[in-house]
Amino acid sequence: MKKNIKKTVRLSELEHEKLLKMLQENNLKFSDYARARLLKYKIKSKIDREQIYHLNKIGNNLNQIAKAVNSRNTKIQILEKLVDIERAIKDLTK
């Protein structure tokens, strides 16, 4: 559907800062957000599938560490798992 009608909104500096922060955190465009809120659409934020994949891998490593601790494996094996998690987090933040 062609969108050819333009509306203007006035905000205080504080409101503008809050709006920009919320848009950035949810990776949204202002026009999509405003249209959804005004017309009561559901808002879908864009999800970075690769980050979710890496977070899942980190979660799996944490589960393996918990299992190792509960089964009384050696400290060296637990430390190796922690190093794996640290590497995964560093890779994720690059």
Are 71 and 91 in contact by the 8 Å Cβ rule? The answer is: no
Mean pLDDT calculated for residue range 27-38: 84
The pLDDT > 70 percentage for the chain reads 85
Instruction: Parse the chain into domains and list their residue ranges.
Output: 10-45, 49-92
The stretches of the chain forming alpha helices (DSSP H) are 13-26, 30-39, 49-70, 75-92
pLDDT tens-digit series, residues 45-80: 666 777 788 888 888 888 887 777 777 656 677 778
Instruction: Give residue 46's pLDDT.
Output: 64
- State the Cα–Cα distance between residues 15 and 21, nearest whole angstrom: 10
Are 55 and 92 in contact by the 8 Å Cβ rule? The answer is: yes
- State the Cα–Cα distance between residues 40 and 42, nearest whole angstrom: 7
